[in-house]
Structure 1
Amino acid sequence: MKVAVPKDSIESEVEKRLKSMGGRAKIDGFRPGKVPFSVLRKKFGGQVRREVLGEVLQSSFAEAIVQEKLRPAGVPHIEMEDAANDDSLEYTATFEVYPEVELKGLDSIQVERPVLEIGDADIDKMLENLRKQRKTWVGVDRPAQDGDQVTIDFEGSIDGESFAG
């Protein structure tokens, strides 16, 4: 999408911001609030211009997509055009849009819901799974039995040489 923004609106906004900045700008050699406009433009003009351009690009892009009734699916890639026309700033915004989907004939579609029967065996199996997942271990004073969790210390040797265990 190509968008054009009048340059005079950008320049007037830059000047307006520089003038408002003049009252509080502190530059060596000048009293606060008494800095000449030309000095402000020289020192802060580039930064203020970049800020204004960023805001103008965002607002003009937002207006353009509302005007064209588009729904962007992501962040646009903005590419500035060469200054063929001195009256306006032109850029091309490349972006993806959500497709327009028109749903028709939903009244005639029938959906069959699967019927699932849960038996006693299914319930017992699920309960056993839950018991295994949520079990806790408690220490007991008796010999180990099948199903117990044990911690052992041992000393082992291979061919008479000890190894860590």
Structure 2
Amino acid sequence: MPGVIETRLAELGVTLPDAPAPAANYVPYVVVGDLVFVSGQISAGPDGLVTGKLGADMGVPEGAAAAKLCALSLLAQCKAACGGDLDRLKRVVKLTGFVNSTSDFTDQPKVVNGASDFLVEALGDAGRHSRSAVSAAALPLGVAVEIEAIFQIG
């Protein structure tokens, strides 16, 4: 039976993906006390990788949609860290967003808002977090966005 958070996600028409496996020599998350540190999750959805460079071949709305996909993978990793019980999630503590963008693109915060806005919509006040949104000259596999997170669990 789905918990409160997954019921809310279903109301939003969202299904969490399976937690992505790491692509290199690292773990997808580390639990330290009541914190879960989730490795960077790249913009990937049911149709594959979302690639592109903001300011060149991609605009803010497409970038924000890519950031939301990162947030879904972050929640999937948190769920895995919680043994499948996403209701153990107490709050989103911090996001660090990396945006594949041109040197003159300055709307990285608007792109990462795709993840932030979704987490607040899905989790309410527990989704409010501190955040960084920075430019990257390139990201793995040419993806548009990569985001890492810290969650508090109970």
Is TM-score (shorter-chain normalized) higher than 0.5? no
Of the two structures, which has the highest relative contact order with CA contacts closer than 8 Å and spacing of 6 or more? Answer: 2
Q: Normalising by structure 2, report the TM-score.
A: 0.32
TM-score, length-scaled by structure 1: 0.30
Larger Rg: 1
